[in-house]
Amino acid sequence: MRARRRRRGRAGGGRRHHEQDVPRLRRGVVGAVPLVPPTGRYGSEDPESYERPRRHTRPRTKERPSYDDAVEAQVVTVDRGRYTCVLEDHLVTAMKSRALGRQGVVVGDRVRLVGDTSGDEGSLARVVEVEERATVLRRTADDDDPVERVVVANADQLVVVVALADPEPRLGLVDRALVAAYDAGMDPLLCLTKADLAAPDELLAIYEPLGVPSVVTQRSSWGGAGLDEIRERLADRTSVLLGHSGVGKSTLVNALVPDAGRETGSVNAVTGRGRHTSTSAYLLALPPAGSTTGGSIIDTPGIRSFGLAHVDPEHLIEAFGDLDALTDDCPRGCTHAASEPECGLDQGVADGVVSAARVAAYRRLLESRGEPTY
Ligand SMILES: Nc1nc2c(ncn2[C@@H]2O[C@H](COP(=O)(O)OP(=O)(O)OP(=O)(O)O)[C@@H](O)[C@H]2O)c(=O)[nH]1
Ligand SMILES: [Zn+2]
């Protein structure tokens, strides 16, 4: 029980929480690692500390925190050690400051920048702080590789984009993405595309017992309701879009953000490189539409596998409060899988407090952890 409580308190992974619920974040501390500014104003590698003797023109007391003129920005994409950040209305290229050490900086991170934040051609700012993350979406390269990678930070919804046909839906992919979402404390959303090619009923029935919300769409209806419903679901949130190649994700992103220029052809408009070399996620602000005012989406073009070795089954069930409540009397170490002899979930079904379909769907998710990555 004690171990379980400790896991519940795990940073960034509590039961479903949204960015809005998280109190204004502590600054300058990421996880347990305090970011200690280097001695001197910005550290010895900073050209400004040589070129502009600010200390003489702007006196500061010792107590004054460093970086108090740093500006807030959000990381939009990462490419070979360069961080593109959005600062109010313009993009700034930045690198990590030495003060960050090995601290990772990922798409969605809210950061503080110093240096040249003009965004002018050739300018380079420096990331000096990463704010505590409200959520982290992680993956392991594959299930046998325990190295965890943070994919994106601060997203509160994971949109799993699945084509109803061409390519055929792969449930393994959907299940694994859902596991990652629940583990990260993000709300899942199923986005079923290409409804002009196949009916959604079968797929919807499979995910209905889990209570996963869904939208069904097809490109030809985008003048009408299809796209509006998705916009409403995305409004004022930060949503990660995940999907296998060819499901129509880029087509959808381009419809949502008309000047996004996400590649549906062969060359990435952002990097100028081939589509398959672009592996970084990319954050795009949603334009206001109808009654919605904002929100952003994070496109994840390069994710081909979604290892879940980092996911603790005991943590997964916490995303399903009604099921979690049934497991208090499970034998020690019960994984709540179908093979467990005395699992409280089976008792719950026998007692009629939970549907067999819901337990079976939960167990399918649980088992998807061990399936091959996609
Ligand atoms: N029939 C049909 N085809 C669609 C629909 N949406 C997109 N497509 C087509 O599906 C193909 C794949 O679309 P993309 O948007 O490039 O798919 P993607 O998921 O971004 O794929 P990658 O770029 O490989 O990651 C394209 O030929 C689209 O024209 C739809 O609603 N119905
Ligand atoms: Zn159990």
**Using CA atoms, how far apart are residues 47 and 125, in angstroms rounded to an integer?**
11
Chain position carrying tokens 């992680």 = 138
Confidence of residue 259 (pLDDT cuts 50, 70, 90): confident
Q: Within 10 Å of residue 178's Cβ, how many Cβ atoms? A: 24
Whole-angstrom CA distances from 271 to 92, 184, 246, 255 are: 15, 29, 20, 20
At residue 239, φ and ψ (nearest 5 deg) are -115, 135
The percentage of residues in the chain with a pLDDT greater than 90, rounded to a whole number, is 49
Query: How is 197-222 classified by DSSP, letter by letter?
Result: TS-SHHHHHHHGGGT--EEE--GGGT
The best mutation among 170, 251, 254 to test binding of ligand 1, ranked by most ligand atoms within 8 Å of the C-beta, falls on 251
Instruction: Return the pLDDT at 138.
Output: 85
CB 345 within 8 A of CB 326: yes
Beta strands in the chain (DSSP E): 29-30, 33-34, 71-79, 82-87, 90-96, 110-115, 125-130, 136-140, 148-153, 157-163, 187-193, 214-216, 238-243, 282-285, 296-299
Instruction: Return the pLDDT at 271.
Output: 43
The best mutation among 264, 278, 279, 303 to test binding of ligand 1, ranked by most ligand atoms within 8 Å of the C-beta, falls on 264
pLDDT, tens digit (0-9, with 9 covering 90-100), for 168-217: 998 888 998 999 999 999 999 999 999 999 999 999 999 999 999 999 99
As annotated, the binding site includes 193-196, 243-251, 330, 334, 336, 343
Instruction: Return the pLDDT at 142.
Output: 62
At residue 197, φ and ψ (nearest 5 deg) are -100, -30
- The per-residue b/e assignment along 234-256, b for 16 or more CB within 10 angstroms, e otherwise, is bbebbbbbbbbeebbbbbbbbbb
pLDDT, tens digit (0-9, with 9 covering 90-100), for 47-56: 333 344 444 4
Protein residue whose Cα sits closest to atom 16 of ligand 1 = 264
Confidence of residue 145 (pLDDT cuts 50, 70, 90): low
Confidence of residue 304 (pLDDT cuts 50, 70, 90): low
Residue 28 corresponds to which tokens in the numbers above? 């300058």
What ipTM did this prediction achieve?
0.97
CA of 10 from ligand 2 middle (Å) equals: 21
Chain position carrying tokens 């009654």 = 291
Nearest to 368 by CA among 206, 148, 149: 206
Residue 38 has pLDDT above 70, yes or no: no
Sign of the alpha-carbon torsion through 269, 272, 275, 279: negative
Q: Rg (Cα) of the chain, in Å, rounded?
A: 23
Say if residue 324 is exposed, middle or buried (CB neighbours under 10 Å; 0-12, 13-18, 19+). middle
| Complete domains list, the chain, with CATH | 23-56+70-130 (2.40.50.140), 136-299 (3.40.50.300), 313-368 (1.10.40)
CB 301 within 8 A of CB 261: no
Q: What is the pTM of this model?
A: 0.78
Range 20-28 average pLDDT: 38
Q: Which residues line ligand 1 (CB under 6 A)?
A: 193-194, 196-197, 218-219, 243, 245-251, 264, 301
Residue 371 corresponds to which tokens in the numbers above? 């399936």
Nearest ligand to the C-alpha atom of residue 226: 1
Residue 252 corresponds to which tokens in the numbers above? 């959808």
Q: Cα(first)–Cα(last) distance of the chain, in Å?
A: 34
CA of 328 from ligand 2 middle (Å) equals: 8
The percentage of residues in the chain with a pLDDT greater than 70, rounded to a whole number, is 70
- The per-residue b/e assignment along 21-56, b for 16 or more CB within 10 angstroms, e otherwise, is ebeeeebbebeeeebebeeebbbeebeeeeeeeeee
Ligand 1 nearest-atom number relative to CA 247: 19
At residue 91, φ and ψ (nearest 5 deg) are -95, 140
Nearest to 239 by CA among 21, 19, 30: 19
Ligand 1 nearest-atom number relative to CA 244: 19
